[in-house]
Amino acid sequence: MSTGPASSASVTLSTPVQFLKGVGPRNAELLAKLELFTAADCLFNFPRDYQDLTDLKSVAELEADKLVRLRGTVVEIEQRGGYTGRSMLGVLIQCGEGAAADYVRCLWFNMPHMRKQFENGRQFLITGKAKKKGGRWEFSHPRAQRLEQEPADAELKILPVYSLTEGLYQPTVRKAVQAALEGCLDQLDEVFPPEFLAAHNLAPLREALQQIHFPADREQLEKARRRFVYQELFILQLALAVRRLRLQVDGSAPQLEPTAKIDARIRRLLPFELTAGQEQAIKEIGGDLARHFPMNRLLQGEVGSGKTIVAVYAVLVAVAHGRQAAIMAPTEVLARQHARTLGKLLSESRVKWTTLVGGLSQSERRAVLEQIRSGEIDVVIGTQAILQEDVEFARLGLVVVDEQHKFGVRQRAKLRGAGEAPHYLVMTATPIPRSVSMTMFGDLDISTIRDAPPGRMPVKTYLADDTQRDRWWEFVRKKLREGRQGYVIAPLVEGSDDPDDERASVMRTFEQLANGPLEAFRLGLLHGRMSNEEKEAAMAEFAAGKTQILVATTVVEVGVDVPNAVLMTIEGGERFGLSQLHQLRGRIVRGNHPGFCTVFAKSGTAEGLKRLEAFVASNDGFELAEVDFHIRGPGDLLGTKQHGLPPLRIADLVRDEAVVAEARADALALVQEDAGLAKPEHQRLRKQMLKRYGAVLELGDVG
């Protein structure tokens, strides 16, 4: 058996990378760390970036504040300061050779980690805007890409940049990809029918693969990239559309029609008129409940928009039909909040309900489980304790899951049980960006409540620094004397040796306030390390007005409902995401008094400042969700343990939002035309869909 590199004529898709020209055993071990084992793996290992050498400028061509790209060699490195306090990294770059050489200076402030990227003699591609200072051009925080080229790359004007591991270099990966392209590009089969490619303006597979790795120009690169982005999103949307159809075709659920009589009985229990948004959501949910297949609906709404009342309506429809309902919350605090809300609404009703949480004694738990099993209990409110194997429902008709993103996709199945499947309603108070709702929740119908109950007062939001603390605490004291209450939120339970951590500690904050600006007032403490009994006691005292200020971590982010609380102080604001900040602010929109929220934050990154400025500027959770999504991106949205979907390889839900919508519409149309993807021209699409998503979305074998 040959141990040398394979000729391009003998390379197949399954050829081990070791035998590709320019790789060898040692590099094969390094490539294996990146999960590149065969020629096929190399073909679909798309570049993470590109180095564009098509429009390089010389130093003589630079203009102030114009975005430019130039190439040069590191000749001097200067670093001042260190990992604590202010630091500066200066790198002198030589552009050109000999007498024609010119120099530019690149500066990075408070980014000491950048130092390890640079070595004298290394070539870099610098992209940024320059200013002239002291007769020399300076770039502040430019993008710096290390250039690794071999003579074979000399003709390339756009260089692919691949993910690496220690000891592996760009030229090696480029050689492996080039060898795979030369050897087995012709062995690949197109997944899309020819007429589909033409109708959707997609580059053919082989052409697109060549251009995604070694593009002739920017236009060819964008065309190739669009092909693979579309394909990836289309296959995902196909899987979601097929799953959605399977749930409708295969699932059998009880028909729970909200008749006029049932509707009138439920509305008599409600203490107020419903908003237009609530009415529309109830109409959509009622239509789903009346069908013979399971409802699979997401209810999203602004903080305080009244989602819980809508969910209670659905629960009471199920109970009216002799079915049980389960309400599942991510925390015990939120589960007990739902129990209190339900208890008030059902005080004049014969509906029997109970809570099932982790803190019950064995005897209490056994008694509750028997009541659920016998059907004596109509509604069960709890945490993940509801998912335990010993929990058996007599006739489960509806499952409501609050804060869906805190639970896993596979956890849904645990409550389906034998026989008829229950209807499924998930709720979130974190508005979902459009492209996320079309992917992560693509198998669900979506209802949205945008309006708030009448009489809700606005919240004024301020961004402050330490110089404004005295004025803020003076204002807080004034409001407390008027009889109002408030929250003080800190991101950490305890500090550390880091002074910034110490400032962001809830324990230190409590101590400072109790012995300082709020010493004349009654303070409570709430954080995740307290026992369930301690948390309950702290919440009960605050709800009853026995404590005026609750100093807490984000355990109050959802579910805590105290209408008299109108003050929100957030410490360490730069440590919170935008949606989380909005959730916290939502705690003070519950009553009939205007709210006041102040965020204390230390100056951080430009991204952090942008996030805080957006928070202060808007009270609209849907708007803020989109802003946060575009600032921070989706992260590992589809690759988390919660959602179980494999991560996207090339698509970006922020950049490719338009393609998400296009792929979704096309996938739904195709599944409408060929539900099981059984037509011969759809066999390759079907195969690829099942390979990538069949197991995680429980698609089985469609067709």
> According to the model, what pLDDT value does residue 641 have?
40
277 and 310 belong to one structural domain = yes
Distance (Å, whole) CA 661 – CA 413: 28
Collapsed DSSP state (helix, strand, coil) of residue 125: strand
Max Cα–Cα distance, the chain, nearest Å = 94
Q: Which residues contact residue 287 at a Cβ distance below 8 angstroms, ignoring those fewer than 6 apart?
A: none
CA distances for 220 relative to 171, 227, 233, angstroms: 22, 11, 20
> According to the model, what pLDDT value does residue 639 have?
42
Distance of CA 6 to the CA centre of its chain: 44
Using an 8 Å Cβ cutoff, are 682 and 670 in contact? yes
Residue 455 backbone dihedrals phi, psi, to 5 degrees: 95, -10
The domain tally of the chain equals 4
Band (pLDDT 50/70/90 cuts) for residue 195 is very high
Distance (Å, whole) CA 438 – CA 150: 43
- CATH code of the domain covering residue 264: 3.40.50.300
Q: Name the residue with higher pLDDT: 22 or 418.
A: 22
> According to the model, what pLDDT value does residue 638 have?
45
| 363 located within any domain | yes
pLDDT of 187 > 90? The answer is yes
Q: What is the pTM of this model?
A: 0.75
pLDDT of 37 > 90? The answer is yes
Digit-coded pLDDT (tens) for 507-560: 999 999 999 999 999 999 998 888 878 888 888 899 899 999 999 988 775 556
Distance (Å, whole) CA 512 – CA 502: 11
Distance (Å, whole) CA 683 – CA 676: 10
Collapsed DSSP state (helix, strand, coil) of residue 391: coil
64 and 19 belong to one structural domain = no
Domain final position from 153, 176, 200: 153
Question: DSSP state, 573?
Answer: G
Digit-coded pLDDT (tens) for 609-636: 888 999 999 988 888 888 888 877 765 4
| 233 located within any domain | no
282 and 423 belong to one structural domain = yes
Distance (Å, whole) CA 477 – CA 479: 6
Angle 664-665-669 from CA coordinates, rounded to 5°: 115
Lowest-confidence region among 7-11, 226-230, 598-602:
7-11
> According to the model, what pLDDT value does residue 500 have?
59
Band (pLDDT 50/70/90 cuts) for residue 569 is very high
pLDDT of 331 > 50? The answer is yes
76 and 126 belong to one structural domain = yes
Residue 153 backbone dihedrals phi, psi, to 5 degrees: -85, 0
Residue 158 backbone dihedrals phi, psi, to 5 degrees: -125, 110
Q: Name the residue with higher pLDDT: 341 or 34.
A: 34
Using an 8 Å Cβ cutoff, are 482 and 461 in contact? no
Indicate if the alpha-carbon torsion angle 331, 337, 341, 346 is positive or negative.
positive
Q: Name the residue with higher pLDDT: 335 or 489.
A: 489
Beta bridge partners of 551: 488, 525
- CATH code of the domain covering residue 110: 2.40.50.140
Cβ neighbours around 671 below 10 Å, total: 21
| 442 located within any domain | no
> According to the model, what pLDDT value does residue 361 have?
84
Q: Name the residue with higher pLDDT: 406 or 368.
A: 368
Distance (Å, whole) CA 230 – CA 252: 34
Domain final position from 618, 651, 684: 618
Distance (Å, whole) CA 485 – CA 473: 13
Q: Which of 299-303, 380-384, 477-481 ranks highest by mean pLDDT?
A: 477-481
Using CB atoms within 10 Å of the CB of residue 273, give its burial: 0 to 12 exposed, 13 to 18 middle, 19+ buried: exposed
> According to the model, what pLDDT value does residue 432 have?
82
Residue 383 backbone dihedrals phi, psi, to 5 degrees: -105, -155
Cβ neighbours around 183 below 10 Å, total: 24
Domain final position from 383, 407, 428: 428
| 355 located within any domain | yes
What is the average pLDDT value for the chain, to the nearest integer?
86
Digit-coded pLDDT (tens) for 257-311: 999 999 999 998 887 889 999 999 999 999 999 999 999 899 998 777 888 899 9
12 and 60 belong to one structural domain = no
| 675 located within any domain | no
Cβ neighbours around 528 below 10 Å, total: 13
Using an 8 Å Cβ cutoff, are 401 and 422 in contact? no
589 and 516 belong to one structural domain = yes
- CATH code of the domain covering residue 174: 1.10.150
**Beta 136-140 vs 595-600: how paired, if at all?**
unpaired
551 and 402 belong to one structural domain = no
> According to the model, what pLDDT value does residue 256 have?
96
Question: DSSP state, 114?
Answer: G
Digit-coded pLDDT (tens) for 438-476: 887 787 889 999 887 777 778 899 999 889 999 999 999
Q: Which residues contact residue 72 at a Cβ distance below 8 angstroms, ignoring those fewer than 6 apart?
A: 93, 94, 95, 96, 104, 123, 124, 126
pLDDT of 406 > 60? The answer is no
> According to the model, what pLDDT value does residue 1 have?
45
31 and 103 belong to one structural domain = no
377 and 498 belong to one structural domain = no
266 and 134 belong to one structural domain = no
570 and 550 belong to one structural domain = yes
> According to the model, what pLDDT value does residue 565 have?
92
Q: Which residues contact residue 190 at a Cβ distance below 8 angstroms, ignoring those fewer than 6 apart?
A: 197, 204, 205, 206, 684
Digit-coded pLDDT (tens) for 209-268: 999 999 999 999 999 999 999 999 999 999 999 888 887 777 789 999 999 999 999 998
How large a percentage of the chain has pLDDT more than 70?
Answer: 90
| 369 located within any domain | yes
**Beta 49-52 vs 158-161: how paired, if at all?**
antiparallel
Question: Encoding tokens for residue 455?
Answer: 């009489």
pLDDT of 109 > 90? The answer is no
Using an 8 Å Cβ cutoff, are 119 and 71 in contact? no
395 and 311 belong to one structural domain = yes
Angle 234-237-238 from CA coordinates, rounded to 5°: 85
| 525 located within any domain | yes
Range of the domain at 315: 260-290+305-428
| 565 located within any domain | yes
Q: Which residues contact residue 674 at a Cβ distance below 8 angstroms, ignoring those fewer than 6 apart?
A: 682
